[in-house]
Amino acid sequence: MAERSEHLERFLADHDAPCPGCGYNLRGLEGDQCPECGERLELRIGMADPKLSQFIGGLIGLAAGLGFHGLFLIWVGYVAAVGTFSMWDALPPLVVGLVVSSAALFAWTGLRARMRRLPLSRRRLLVFVCWAWSIGSVLWFFASLR
Ligand SMILES: [Zn+2]
């Protein structure tokens, strides 16, 4: 038996712990597989309070902008295809909004660990920038409509 599995078994010998996959109580588990859902398990160190509010706040801000620009871009394409009226002036803010929001979302998730090391005031500022970008780019889109 691998050493990692030994630590897990030793811990679960006298602790109640739910399986992170299915919630089954793993107390007394032998091996490293949940008997209920079959997922492999390992003993890890976790944060007592992950403090995800800034990360999630920024993620929602950027995802809201991305969703808005993506859906309106589809709508502008549909309107252009049907030919009811032209909305080409709205294209630049939508395309720029979609590209920048996508890149920012990738950066936000990719640099998550680095951002956690920033002071709280900096992280709050970044969340504000995420929301300001999304709201600003949506306002740019509406301003481009004639
Ligand atoms: Zn399970």
- pLDDT value at 2 more than 70: no
Query: Per-domain residue ranges for the chain?
Result: 1-45, 53-144
Question: Ligand 1 centre from 39 Cα, in Å?
Answer: 6
Summarised one tens digit per residue, pLDDT across range 30-64 is 999 999 999 999 999 988 988 899 999 999 999 99
Query: What's the pLDDT tens digit per position in 102-146?
Result: 999 999 999 999 999 999 999 999 999 999 999 999 999 889 886
* Residues around ligand 1, an ion, CB closer than 5 A: 19, 21-22, 24, 34, 36-37
CA proximity to 22, closest of 6, 31, 13, 33: 33
- What is the chain's alpha carbon radius of gyration, rounded to the nearest angstrom? 24
pLDDT for position 102: 96
80 vs 13: which has the higher pLDDT: 13
The pLDDT tens digits of the residues spanning 10-28 come to 999 999 999 999 999 999 9
Question: Residue 101 and residue 90: Cα distance in Å, rounded?
Answer: 16
Give distance in angstroms: CA of 22 to centre of ligand 1: 4
**Measured at the alpha carbon of residue 137, what is the angle toward residues 141 and 72, in degrees to the nearest 5?**
50
